[in-house]
Structure 1
Amino acid sequence: MNLTDRARQRCSWLPSTDIPEGPRYKTLADQIATSVANGELKPGERLPPQRLLADALEVTVGTITRAYREAERRGLVEAKVGSGTRVRDAGMERPDFHHLSRATTDSIDLSLSIPIPNPLRTQQLSAIMAQLAEQPAQLDNALHYQPEQGNTQQREQLAAWLTSLGLDTRAEDLLLTIGGQHADYLTLQSLIRPGEAVASDALTYPGMIAAARQLGLKHLPVSMDREGMRADALERLCQRQRIRLLYLLPEHNNPTVTQMSQRRREEIVRIARKYDLLLLEDGVQFVRPELRGTPFYHLAPERSLYIFSVSKILSGGLRFGALRAPANLMQQLCNGLRSQCWASPGLMGAVTCDWLSSPDSALLINWQWDELTARHAILEKTLSGYEFMSHPCGFYAWLHLPEPWRASDFVEQAAQRGVTLVSPEPFCVGSQPAPQAIRICLTPPAHREALEIGLTRMAELLAEGPRLSAPLV
């Protein structure tokens, strides 16, 4: 019996060996889809090891690898370190993350990282729109098709505003986007090929996880400590895997609120240069200048991109952001943006940049900093005695649940007491296990009193401990 026959005998599943013309990996992915649909491959069932299936079909291991990645991109299978590639079980899916609240009308929402509600927003926006309506030349300019990189005047306004806050940049460095999530997706789609690997903190922003999955990228977790991403873990990963891009939240990680020291940032840059990694820094969760570390585009300008958005300081509904990028990458990004949407909307950019440039925006932003200080004080008082991490500019805190609490049980039992939280699973990269911890958002309640009531209910639940289910018999 030859190698091929022996391999076929050992395979738990075999596609047809009569492969039609066309890319073999896509045909194999199609056959996986067919076998899943007709029940031949059942949820949770493990696909044959790649080497074994390659020998059985007399194709290269690379062909099987690409087929499995394509099947994973389609949502048919899931690859986990140590357990191989298995058919995805819809009933076992991790909870998805939503940018809109699932809170009921009588529940206190502590699940979303959003600006603190304030009627100043609508008042200021109304005034800015009225001013723009009285400037026909500027309004006419905003209504025209815009260049891919974005309206020149708007980029100049935004560059001046960022520079005034210590994030020095030039108009030519910026590409205007439809929010921060768009900048994430645009960067990955334009600079990374399907099947290539990107890496991030093991716990990170769910939007990045979703973008990498949608684009068929291999998303690898890097273990963390109290300063966020560990440099030694990143270097070990780079020694084993070819990574193209590193996604970073150095000011305060979402959800753990860790902040990188200067030394850690310099270690990350050394590794990035050694292994030729692009660095994508997410600066959407804005931080006051005096509390901000050195941005990566200062430390490694030749390979660093920076994301900015007004979602946390003005309004998420504006859908306006920017990507700061090195000159050698700008054309690729412009080409990618043009293929997606031609350009960011000129009218929205005009409204937003005029608002940012006005003294009114500073009043609103400074009010929010002051209000955050007061809300963090409520958090410190109410959850005193429990282990959590926070940041003065953070919209959220990261609570480590005491034993024997499990995060899923805490979220469920908090909901029964009228507090809406999100479980940690959506923040987990790849097969990273979910920690027994909860992100607590301080900003959704319109008033401090509601926040204090919600946190008090959580404190009571923590003190009582989990409600035990009946024992199995």
Structure 2
Amino acid sequence: MPINSFENYPMSWKPSVDKTRKPIYQAIAGQLEQDIIKGVLLPGTKLPPQRELADYLDLNLSTISKAFKVCELKGLLSATVGSGTFVSYDALSNAYLLEDIKKPSHLIEMGATLPDNDSYEPLLLQLKDMLQETDYEKWFSYGRPGESLWQKDAAVKLMRRGGFKTTVDHILFANGGQNAIAAILASLCQPGDRIGVDHHTYPGLKTVAAMLSVQLVPIKSKNYEMSPTAFEYACKNDNIKGIYLIPDYHNPTACCMSVKNRERLAVIAKKYNQFIIEDATYHLHHERPMPAVASYAPEQVIYIASLSKSIAPGLRLAYVAAPSRFKESISKALYNLNISVSPLLAELTARIIVSNQFEPLVENHREQAILRNRIANQYLENYTCLGMETGIFRWLLLPEKITGAEFETLAAQQGVQVYAAERFVVGNSCPDGAVRIAICAPKTIGELEQGLIILKRLLNDYL
């Protein structure tokens, strides 16, 4: 059919493609990407069926399929069997964050999850003791953290405190939680593989997945917990290889998964031989540990215990408990990523844990979080603000008249940095009208209150 006869055809996207550019599928993919960036195609827009678009452009169906696949791997499109292909809601989740909005020179930080600095002094004292030892040079030479069995013992002890019992033969060291996630995906997934995630998830996972061309598939939740029923459906119909979970103080929704759901998800993972990446970044914020998902399926779950949020952000170290069948491949990936763990930080962390100094550090963080959450509750009592009193961030649901992205921009213009739901949303999921508020980030209680006053005023404006 000639293109002219399509002039009045109800298609959501009518690209104009220069067919002299080879390969043509890349030209189509480039046009699609530009139209998304420029706002010609908005998030959530359903694209024409591939066969229909092929007829419109007088091209082979395979050419359109390849173009869509390129954009899907970039996270620009989300395809659902039986529903069609949509522009991802998170296609521009990072782009709007780079806009040159007029921000004041000083922002009250309530976006980044920066724990208070109560832990710095004990770490400093321990470090000074280490440097008094006669063989201190070893902390600054090449070394492989974890070769010392007692450092792995420290990892096992920390994980036990977080709700998971394992043994030293499963322990690996990574240079932080995101480094661990990158190594796990690189070792267990091929480009184009799919893993299931919550509708809103940790942006670091999104970045890593995009880099490795791993597709994130949003799995439906109930009461902000991943639905076991939806997970099983995805195992059968969405061709996923595994899932990524943050069971405790989920980032960004601040909710904690029930013990029942942890067990049900583990059972399904075993049934369908799915791996689970359990991100235990926030496990230590509980006064009494909840059982880890890994407790119910230790041969399916790769458990990551990072230290930046529970002890100090400068400790760029994460412990990974890997099932035997995954351990060698993850270890090779960690090595090939070529981001070495500092022997100095590995030793410092191990001493803090084995000496039990980490317990008062965690307790101090928890007490500070409780105090700050009580203050937040006072200012935001008229709004739905999800989270627990021991968590370091909250999920604030906004009035219907404003989106998270709009509220983030307005808050920044008034001097407060918060993070919109659009930063965290996955694929074709519709972002919550919400922002994440890091109550831990302001340097003082006074600064926290000042930020909350500004946020409350903005919220009242939209009531």
TM-score bin, normalised by smaller chain:
0.7 to 0.9
Q: 1:418 Cα deviation (Å)?
A: 2.1
**Aligned to 2:405, which of 405, 408, 411?**
408
* Corresponding residue for residue 469 of structure 1: none
Corresponding residue SS for 2:337 = helix
If the length of structure 2 is used for normalisation, what is the TM-score? 0.82
Alignment correspondent of 2:391: 394
Name the SS of the counterpart of 2:242 in structure 1. Answer: strand
Which shifted more, 44-53 or 161-170?
44-53
Q: Distance in 1 between matches of 2:435 and 2:47?
A: 34
Cα displacement string for residues 119-165 of structure 1 (whole angstroms, at most 9, x for unaligned residues): x50x3333222222233447527623427x66544222222343355
Alignment of 1:366-385 (within 5 A): 366-385=363-382
| 8 A Cα contact 2:159 2:305, kept in partner | no
Aligned equivalent of 2:255, options 248, 254, 258: 258
Q: Does 1:113 align with 2:108?
A: no
Structure 1 pair 108–204 and aligned structure 2 pair: CA distance change class (3 A): same
| Equivalence for 1:95 | 96
SS in 2 for 1:287: helix
Contact 1:248 1:282 in 2 (8 A): yes
Equivalent position of 2:243 in the other structure: 246
Q: CA deviation at 1:228?
A: 1.1
Match of 1:129 in 2: 127
Deviations 1:233-262 (A, max 9, x none): 222333321110100111121111222112
Matches of 2:91 and 2:396, distance apart in 1? 29
Deviation of 1:462 after TM superposition, in Å, equals 1.9
Out of 185, 190, 200, the residue aligned to residue 187 of structure 2 is: 190
1:387 is displaced (CA, Å) by: 1.3
Q: Take 2:33 and 2:419, find their aligned partners in 1: how far apart are those partners?
A: 32
SS in 1 for 2:179: helix
What amino acid sits opposite 1:110 in the alignment? Answer: M
Counterpart Cα distance in 1 of 2:281 and 2:103 = 24
Question: 1:16 and 1:47, CA in 2 relative to 1: closer, same or farther beyond 3 A?
Answer: farther
Contact 2:25 2:64 (8 Å CA) reproduced: no
Which deviations, in whole Å up to 9, do the C-alpha atoms of 1:194-218 show, x marking residues without a partner? 1011111101111111111111111
Q: Number of matched residues?
A: 441
User: Paired residue for 1:363?
Assistant: 360
Match of residue 414, structure 2, among 381, 404, 417 = 417
CA 83–162 in structure 1, closer or farther in 2 if over 3 Å, else same: closer
- After superposition, the Cα gap between the structure-2 partners of 1:67 and 1:406, relative to the gap in structure 1 and judged at 3 Å, is closer
Structure 1 residue aligned with 2:4 = none
Aligned to 2:85: 84
Structure 2 counterpart of 1:106, which letter? Answer: H
The one-letter amino acid paired with 2:289 is: R
- Closer/same/farther in 2, CA of residues 224 and 127 from structure 1, 3 Å limit: same
In the alignment, is residue 178 of structure 1 matched against residue 175 of structure 2? yes
1:84–1:347: structure 2 CA closer, same or farther, 3 Å change rule? same
Distance in 1 between residues matched to 2:65 and 2:296, nearest whole Å: 36
User: Structure 1: how far apart are the matches of 2:387 and 2:300?
Assistant: 30
Q: Distance in 1 between matches of 2:167 and 2:249?
A: 25
What is the deviation of 1:351? 2.4
Contact 2:162 2:283 in 1 (8 A): no
Counterpart of 1:133, as a letter, is L
Cα distance, 1:51 vs structure 2: 5.1
The answer to whether the Cα contact below 8 Å between 1:173 and 1:325 also exists between their aligned partners in 2 is yes
Give 2:198's aligned residue.
201
Structure 2 CA distance for partners of 1:58 and 1:452, relative to 1, 3 Å: closer
Q: Please state whether the residue corresponding to 1:300 is helix, strand or coil.
A: coil
The equivalent residue for 1:453 is 450
The structure-2 alpha-carbon separation of the partners of 1:408 and 1:340, relative to structure 1 and needing over 3 Å to count, comes to closer
1:143 aligns with 2:141: yes
SS in 2 for 1:399: strand
Structure 1 residues 413, 164: CA separation in 2 closer, same or farther (over 3 Å shift)? Answer: closer
Which letter maps to 1:297? A
Tell me the distance in 1 between the aligned counterparts of 2:115 and 2:441.
7
C-alpha distance in structure 2 between counterparts of 1:18 and 1:454, whole Å: 52
Q: CA separation of 1:224/1:435 partners in 2, compared to 1, >3 Å: closer, same or farther?
A: same
Query: Residue 243 of structure 2 contacts residue 275 of structure 2 at CA under 8 Å; is this kept in 1?
Result: yes
Match of 1:284 in 2: 281
Amino acid at match of 1:436: G
CA distance in 2, matches of 1:42, 1:52: 24
Q: Helix, strand or coil for the counterpart of 2:420?
A: coil
Unpaired segments of 5 or more residues in structure 1?
Answer: 2-9, 20-26, 467-473
Work out the CA distance in 2 between the residues paired with 1:452 and 1:322: 35
Native 8 Å contact 1:150 1:344 kept in 2: no
CA distance in 1, matches of 2:88, 2:393: 35
- Decide whether aligned partners of structure 1 residues 150 and 454 sit closer, same or farther in structure 2, where only a CA change above 3 A counts: farther
Which range moves more in the overlay, 204-213 or 407-416?
407-416
| Partner-residue secondary structure (3-state), 1:318 | coil
Amino acid at match of 1:414: A
Q: How does 1:155-234 map to 2 (within 5 A)?
A: 155-164=152-161, 166-234=163-231
Task: Return closer, same or farther for 1:396/1:220 CA change in 2, 3 Å cut-off.
Answer: same
Letter paired with 1:233: A
Offset at 1:38?
Answer: 11
Q: TM-score, normalised by structure 1?
A: 0.81
